[in-house]
Every structure is written in C-alpha cells, then in structure tokens.
Structure 1
Amino acid sequence: MSEPAAPRVYARIAGTGSYLPSKVLTNDDLAKIVDTSDEWIAARTGIRQRHVAAEGETTGDLAFHAAVRALEAAGTDASEIDLIVVGTTTPDLVFPSTACLVQARLGVAGCPAFDVNAACSGFIFALSVAEKFIASGSVKTALVIGSETLTRMVDWSERTTCVLFGDGAGAVVLKADTETGILSTHLHADGAKKELLWNPVGVSVGFKENEKNAGVRINMAGSDVFKYAVKALDGIVEETLEANGIDRHEIDWLIPHQANLRIIEATAKRLDMPMERVIVTVDRHGNTSSGSVPLALDEAVRSGKVERGQLLLLEAFGGGFTWGSALLRY
C-alpha cells in the first residue's frame, strides 16, 4: 500500500507591518519647486502627497521599522526567522544587501538574507521566492520586506517624474501552514523594454558626464509604460484566475501596486470589481515601488477591511519590465 501524500505546505501571512517617513510632500509643495499643480498631478495620477525620507534615513531604516511591526503583529520573535528577503531597487549599499543590514539590526545572524531587485514588482518577486522556500519545507518562518527611498533618485526639475514617487516600506511574516496561505504566484519579465523605464547608471556601466541621462535618475516614457502595464496586468489577472480555477467574482480584495490610479482602475474593471473592493493608497503614498503593495496590505489589515479567510489578489508592474501576482487566502 502506498503512503498517503503529504499535505501541501502553504506560506501563510501571519503578520503585516509598514513604515512611512514623517516628512510629507504635498502637490502644492511640489508646485513651489517645479512647474506643476495639484490639479495637474491628481488628474493624471491620483496622487495628492507622498512621504520623503529624512536626511540620513535609509531604505534599511524603513525596512527595519516595518519588519519590527510585522513581527509584533505576528506574535513572532526575531529569533524564529529562518529567511529574510528584501525587495528593493534603492539599497543602502552596493553590498552587503539591505536584507543583511536588517538581519544585523534584528540580531538573527545565521539565516539566509538577500535582496531581490525587480523594481516596482520587487515585493511580489520576494514574496514568491520566500513562498517557494516554505513550500519546499526548508523554511518555517520568513520575513519579506519591500522598502524604497525612491526620492533619492528623482530629478526634482523633471515634472513628469518627480511628482510620482515617494518613500516607504512594508513587511510580512510568512509561516508554514497546512491549511491555507499563498495559493499561487506568477512572475514575468521583458528586458527588451528596459529603456522605457530605467535608471541608466550602474557599477559596471558607469555613466558619462556629458550625457543627458547622467546621474542616478529615473527615466520613464510614461505613455508607453502605461499601455504596456495595463496589457501585462490584464494578462496576469487572467493567468492567476485560470491557474487556480476560480471566477474573478470570488476575489474579495484587489491590492495592486500603487503607481497610477488609472492603471488601478483599469485592472479593477478587468476583474469587474467595484473600486470599493480595491485598496488604494496612491493618493497619500505616491509610487513607493516595491514598498507599495505591502504598505497597502498592512493598511488594509489594520483598518479592518481585510479579514481572515478572505481571498486577496496582489499584483504589480515595474521597470525591467517586470510584473507579477500573488493569490492568497488571508
């Protein structure tokens, strides 16, 4: 007689946490330093304000504070952590990783800790990696963080990009569970589109001082990115639903990357989901890249909107291009 199949091991979100810098930069504040207005920004993006890291406040600082809050919410001691994965495109240092820096502050030397760079999809990619570790049985408790200080790489004289980005971090504690948790994750990338949304500076590439794009700056072809993002997110929504054999109306909450309200609305329309069931923070946070999905998730949990047992769809699109989704039972 054959042995009964081992039960599937899920990665369940045991706790969430987030952190936003105290400084708030409103659209009216931006209008004082660049040719723009609150009406212009809000109409095109849905953004009203964003948080900006203080001088000396790093991506690692934000990540650490979010992590502590997630651990507290999960009722988990840092000593229980078996894995730390940080999604970020604005690390404190070239090396060591921001995950290693957070690990040191938590005092949990020994477990693996590393960063994932998938731009705005960073948290979804990091979540997927951690889920695979738990599903394989090699990890019982994982800390996954999305943290960014994007305002450090915006050109404050470029009104089409400087109005979009903010700083912040969100974190989740994942625990192995045989009942419920992350049902599936789906990841994609298309490096051929890199110059539509990129930072043309790197250690190996360097930059030439006389080039227009010199410096650590975000360069974006906004309309092209918008069109590609809507199409890619439409596709990944369908892929996620089909993979899990569920109807779109079974999803309780859509928690999307907070880049642009119009992109969020387009995805909700694809799901035939009223905006009342979509978590929106872009108006107050701006685009915090890999920090946006866990920030929105934590706010939704702490406000009481998201409840245990509900079905959540998380999705994001970012430079690379990268895009991804996670379907989970909270």
Structure 2
Amino acid sequence: MGKSKARITAIGTYVPQKKLVNEDLERMVDTNDEWIVQRTGMKERRITGDEEFASHLAYHAIENMIEKYQKNIQDVDCIIVATTTPDYAFPSVACQIQSHFNITSTAAFDLNATCAGFTYGLHLANNLITSEAHKKVLVVATETLSKVTDYEDRTTCILFGDGAGAMLMEFDEESPSFLASHMGTNGDGGIHVYRTTFATTMGEKPLNSTGLMVQNGREVYKWAVRTVPQGMEQLLFKAEQDMEDINWFIPHSANLRMVESICDKSQFPIEKTLTSMKYYGNTSSASIPLALNLGIEEGKVKAGDTLLLYGFGGGLTHLGLLLTWNI
C-alpha cells in the first residue's frame, strides 16, 4: 500500500470501579496471592456489574479520550470495535456507539481477533485511511471477560478482567504514525483457547460447551513465546530498524511470565516494556491501550517515541505494529 497516511490523534481508557483482588480469589478457589503473583504478576482486576456491558465501557473510554484531547467525533466516518464479549450477538457495539454519540454518517462494525483485536483494528483503520476510503476512524477495544470466566477453574479465573480503550485516527500525509505491520494465523491452535456458542466439537475434538472460556495455558504460552519474537524480528526488518530503535514495547498483557519470556527470547529489555496486567489482569483486546495509556500518564511515553505494539491470542492469531507516537 505504500507509505501510511494515518495519524493517531487521541487515546482514552476506562475500567470498571469494582475490584477483584487476589485475596477475593483465595476465598473462591484453591489459590493464594503469592502463587498468583509468582505465575502471572497480577494483583487486581476490574469487574463489571450485572447491568454493565462492553458498550458502557466503550462509551466511558471514548468520553475520556474526548475530554483529554478536546476532540470532536461527530465527523468520524468509520467505527471499528474489537471485542469478544459484545452486549448482543447483534446489533454490534459499534452500532451502539454510533447511536450513543449520535454520529450522523459513519460505517460501524465489530471485529473479533480476541487479544490481537486492538492491533487488528489499528491496522485496518490505517489501511482504510491510507487508501483514502475514510478520513477519520474511531478504534475501540472493549471487553467484559468476567462474564465468560469460569470462577471454578483455578487456572483461568485468576487471569481475566474487564476494561476498554479508544483511539482516534485521522488522515495526515505529513506525519503519519504507522511504520510497519506483521501478522499471522495458526488456526490449528484454535482448540487451545476457545469459547463455544453453537458447535460442540472442533474438528473431531469435543468441546466444553458451557459458553465459558477454556484455555490450555501451557500450549498458548509455548506458541506465543515462539511466535511473537519471530514477529518482532520481521516487523523491524520491514521497517529497516533495530531493537535499539524501540523506545517502548507494548505486548498484549496475557501474564507477566509470558511477557518476560518473550522479552528474554527477543533480547528486548523488560524495563522498556509496558504492561497493564498488575492492576487490571488480562483484558484481552483492551490490554494494549490500557498499558499504553498508563505509560503516557506515568510520563514514560513521549512524543517522537517509537512504539512496538504486539497483540496475540485466540485463533490463534497475532499482529504487530511499529508506530511513531506523535500526539
């Protein structure tokens, strides 16, 4: 497609008020704070209320973005929402956002790339703007994983939380944000992390059909630690850059041990890596914008920084982006 013409101009985030701390989980399953921290790096997660859904988190994240950057979204001409936990099968969360903010003329759709959803959304928005099909795109990641978590499964219930992030992208030929992308899919690994709706088998393999998340953490871990460092290498090769050129690495916050292994294998310093799992848990597609926004608020991420974002998860699918942060 050639040089990007899309610039990121604003970011906002939101997490629900209710906290689920490790001590709460100790009372629910056979686990303890030390075990959870040692294996995941997580202390807290945010949990939605019974009548609080993905659309509500999205509204708050967008409002946070508008307030911080004084942005007008009435002329947004495309809304892309990454989510695996929409309020409804249909209408989409994107359509609910259009209605809530009364955006007069826009395309609106949800995409499901699980934990790679946010980077997928940014990649798609960049291509839509660069092709000049659209001028101003709102990308939102919003998840309510607590609603599909099995709180009797001690290996998975310690991981997941709820949250949302929003980003505004606009046409700008002079100072685009996007430098390179790299993606891939391993559909054979879909059996390792799934949630059923209608089907009770995958291929010939029987599934847990409760509608709750099921994860083979060991297999997902092995795939991610092998795949992401290779993807990072390909991404830098495309952009003709080196690891030393990256100011901040922002991977999906699956768990801290996985991120540490990815950094170790790619020989990237963990000190230059931003995550959001300590206080928010694994929020799937929302974890990258939450981590990035924390880095901005803490004064770490600055204008002119080069960022490497990498989403990976169920599918199995992955997508990495190299960005110039020029807000």
Would you call these one fold, judging by a TM-score over 0.5? yes
The question of 1:125 aligning with 2:120 is answered yes
Tell me the CA shift for residue 272 of structure 1: 3.0
CA distance in 2, matches of 1:192, 1:270: 24
Residue in 2 that maps onto 1:276:
271
Residue in 2 that maps onto 1:189:
185
The question of 1:35 aligning with 2:30 is answered yes
The question of 1:251 aligning with 2:253 is answered no
Mapped contact 2:10–2:65 kept (Cα < 8 A)? yes
Aligned sequence identity (%): 38
Tell me the CA shift for residue 302 of structure 1: 2.3
CA distance 1:212–1:177, change in 2 (3 Å): closer
Q: 1:153 aligns with which of 148, 155, 158?
A: 148
TM-score (structure 2 length as normaliser): 0.94
Tell me the CA shift for residue 67 of structure 1: 1.3
Q: Which amino acid aligns with 1:16?
A: I
Aligned CA-pair RMSD: 1.6
Mapped contact 1:167–1:288 kept (Cα < 8 A)? yes
Residue in 1 that maps onto 2:41:
46
CA distance in 1, matches of 2:264, 2:132: 38
Q: Which amino acid aligns with 2:20?
A: L
The question of 1:144 aligning with 2:139 is answered yes
The question of 1:60 aligning with 2:55 is answered yes
Tell me the CA shift for residue 112 of structure 1: 0.5
Tell me the CA shift for residue 298 of structure 1: 1.5
Tell me the CA shift for residue 263 of structure 1: 1.5
Flag structure 2 segments of 5+ consecutive residues without an equivalent. none
Tell me the CA shift for residue 214 of structure 1: 2.6
Mapped contact 1:74–1:173 kept (Cα < 8 A)? no
SS at match of 1:79: coil
Residue in 2 that maps onto 1:70:
65
Residue in 1 that maps onto 2:225:
230
Residue in 1 that maps onto 2:100:
105
The question of 1:11 aligning with 2:6 is answered yes
Mapped contact 2:200–2:209 kept (Cα < 8 A)? no
Moved over 4 A (4+): none
CA distance in 1, matches of 2:266, 2:69: 31
Q: Which amino acid aligns with 2:195?
A: N
Residue in 2 that maps onto 1:84:
79
SS at match of 1:188: strand
- Report the number of matched residues: 319
The question of 1:285 aligning with 2:280 is answered yes
